[in-house]
Amino acid sequence: MSDEGGGERKSYHHGNLRAALVDATLELITEKGPTGFTLAEAARHAGVSAAAPYRHFKGREELIEEVALIGFDMFADLLEHAFTKGPTGSPLEAFYRVGRAYLAFARRYPGHYIAMFESGVSIAGNSELTHVSNRAMAVLTRAAEALMEHIPIAKRPPAIMVSHHIWALSHGIVELFARGTPGGRAPFSPDELLESGTGIYLRGLGILKD
């Protein structure tokens, strides 16, 4: 909490101003959305002066970019762990684990997820964001490649196409069924919707056989 008289949080005096602002922004994004607060409000929420954020960030958008960057790094780590460190099993099971990890991240880290995918942050305009977002996508593409190893190369659909389609399906399920939006009353869980939708899609491509 702030010291009486508008003093800054003790964490700031310990050199944690950047982290305190990120934490405050995560709470505000989750509560109000990425455009529902100002940089001054983030500063108040962090218990620091209105001028303090400018020591690290030019404005709110740059602060949100930092939240997205941290989120993508966590996201890529989680997907990588799901793909390579999960229980032994088939490539299909590894593929499903990556999809479930996607949904789990959105549930557990809504502030990061919103900053990454719903804030309008320019990934292409930030080299660090481009790198970490590509790292996350690469995990899903590798999972798709492993899933299609049994198919002759000439007959395989592009792995990057498969990974982008599954990414889009996962994001749609998060938006409609995982965060209490109007579609959230589906009779199936988000994980069940993703797994069944993925199965239908893969069968349509001939990657899975009945």
Amino acid present at 29:
I
More confident residue, 12 or 36: 36
Where do we find the tokens 């790292």? Answer: 135
Helix 91-108 and helix 159-177, axial crossing angle in degrees, nearest 10: 40
- Domain CATH number, residue 17: 1.10.10
Q: Which of 70-84, 137-151, 185-199 is least confident?
A: 185-199
* Structural domain total, the chain: 2
- Residues 90, 146, single domain; the answer is yes
Q: Specify the DSSP class assigned to residue 153.
A: G
Do residues 51 and 65 both lie within one domain?
no
Place of tokens 């939240």: 67
Query: Which residues, other chains included, contact 200 with Cβ-Cβ below 8 Å and sequence gap of 6+?
Result: none
Give residue 78's pLDDT band: very low, low, confident or very high (50, 70, 90): very high
Six-digit token string for 7: 């003093």
Same domain, 107 and 185: yes
- Portion of the chain with pLDDT greater than 70, in percent: 88
Question: pLDDT tens across 147-174, in order?
Answer: 999 899 988 999 999 999 999 999 999 9
The range of the structural domain enclosing residue 193 comes to 61-204
Same domain, 116 and 44: no
Q: Do 114 and 187 fall into the same domain? A: yes
Q: Is 178 helix (H, G, I), strand (E, B) or coil?
A: coil
Q: Kindly report, residue by residue over 103-129, the tens digit of the pLDDT.
A: 999 999 999 999 999 888 888 888 899
Poorest-pLDDT segment among 54-58, 106-110, 200-204: 54-58
| Shared-domain flag, residues 66 and 163 | yes
Same domain, residue pair 182 and 115: yes
Q: Are residues 73 and 165 in the same domain?
A: yes
DSSP letter, residue 16: -
Mean pLDDT estimate for the chain:
86
* 95 lies in the same domain as 170: yes
